[in-house]
Amino acid sequence: MQYPKIHFKKLLYSLAILVLPAFILLHSCSDDNNVFVVPGEDENYTVHFIDVGQGDAIFIETPVKNLLVDGGYRNSGVVEYLVALDIEYIDLVIGTHPHADHIQGLIGVFHEFEVGEVIDPGVTHTTNTFNEYLSTIDLYDIPFTVGRKGMEWELSENAHMLLLHPTDPSEYHLNNASIVAHVTLGEVTVLLAGDAEENAENQMLNEPELLASDILKVGHHGSNTSSQMAFLEAIDPDISVIQCGEDNPYGHPHNPVIERLNAIDTTIYRTDLHGNIVITIKEGEEYEVHIHQ
Ligand SMILES: [Zn+2]
């Protein structure tokens, strides 16, 4: 009967020797963590709406990961722009849909930079550009994800991306197959609408609470096929950026879209008028718009 008691005391003693230093160590660590700063609260971010003429190219920098959405046409200047930023690695590239004014410039991006992952709606298109885009992704063995509504990516401590579209894209209407990304950068939100038209907007309006954003990349270069009033009201952006080329043959942006944007009292920036539009977000909340012509 005595033996288990002696053994128990020895065991307690041994445990105390083992556990006490660990307890002290953990306690001192938790003291360090009691500094009253939420990690990531003061992160800085930059959103670049790159002037690629007629087409889209948006580059977002966070303290951890960066993201490129579309690359304009071939030789659009997106590669040079990213080289000038000293970018060597791109974590995420989104090809919103297979039209050349979005993906052709990405081919040069894949040749120039190491890319962590490509996200694409997974619809096919029978053009040489689309084949070359796919074969270049293959050539460099870049991980490929078919993007669908509801998918999420962490970009940094306080930054993440949620896809709002597509759910069930069709190769017969590529604009409405567009990936639409809602990016949260601290307290600031950005909606990148691709070339989504009314049909896609109506699907997203089924959950209007997901659309609210501070900054909007206006859908389809300001075409009247897109940006219906209900969609703009649900987003209610402070800033709206239209990416289109000077004197483009489509007449983008269309006047009715400008009128609807004015009606919701948003400040409009246009790459055809303002060149590169760079928005810096400081300490997760304050943001400034810089124009680089
Ligand atoms: Zn387009």
195 CA distance to ligand 1 middle (Å): 5
The pLDDT tens digits for 250-292 are 999 999 999 999 999 999 999 999 999 999 999 888 899 999 7
Q: DSSP characters for 145-187?
A: EE--TT-EEEEETTEEEEEEE-SS--TTSSGGG--EEEEEETT
Q: Is there a contact between 284 and 260 (Cβ–Cβ < 8 Å)?
A: no
217 CA distance to ligand 1 middle (Å): 12
Q: What is the spatial distance between Cα 177 and Cα 196, in angstroms, rounded to a whole number?
A: 7
CATH code matching the domain that covers 45-292, chosen among 3.40.50.720, 3.60.15.10, 3.30.420.40, 3.40.50.2300: 3.60.15.10
88 CA distance to ligand 1 middle (Å): 26
| Structure-block tokens of residue 10 | 């020895």
The pLDDT tens digits for 18-34 are 444 444 343 333 344 44
Instruction: Say what the pTM is.
Output: 0.86
The band of 147, judged by pLDDT with boundaries at 50, 70 and 90, is very high
Asked whether the predicted pLDDT for residue 48 surpasses 70, the reply is yes
* Beta-carbon-side half-sphere exposure of residue 227 (alpha carbons within 13 Å): 32
98 CA distance to ligand 1 middle (Å): 9
φ/ψ of 21, rounded to 5, equals -60, -40
72 CA distance to ligand 1 middle (Å): 8
246 CA distance to ligand 1 middle (Å): 14
The pLDDT tens digits for 175-216 are 999 999 999 999 999 999 999 999 999 999 999 999 999 999
107 CA distance to ligand 1 middle (Å): 16
112 CA distance to ligand 1 middle (Å): 23
Q: DSSP characters for 45-58?
A: EEEEE---SSS--E
